[in-house]
Amino acid sequence: MAGNKKAKGKVEQAKGKAKEAVGRTIGNERMEAEGRMEGARGDARQAKEKAKDVFKH
């Protein structure tokens, strides 16, 4: 289950970076901001899962 959540975090990070890049390219500040938020959500999920792993071992 933890691996699945880590993968979801990676997907969120990738989608966020892509959305941010597209927003920057087309000059859409809202899309760029949404991409940053989505990427940050993925970063937070990754950090949470890594912390769980540290306490698990």
At residue 2, does pLDDT exceed 70? no
Domain ranges of the chain: 2-56
Is pTM beyond 0.85 here?
A: no
Query: Could you tell me if 42 and 16 are in contact, meaning their C-beta atoms sit under 8 angstroms apart?
Result: yes
- Residue among 31, 36, 30, 29 nearest 12 (CA): 36
At residue 9, does pLDDT exceed 90? no
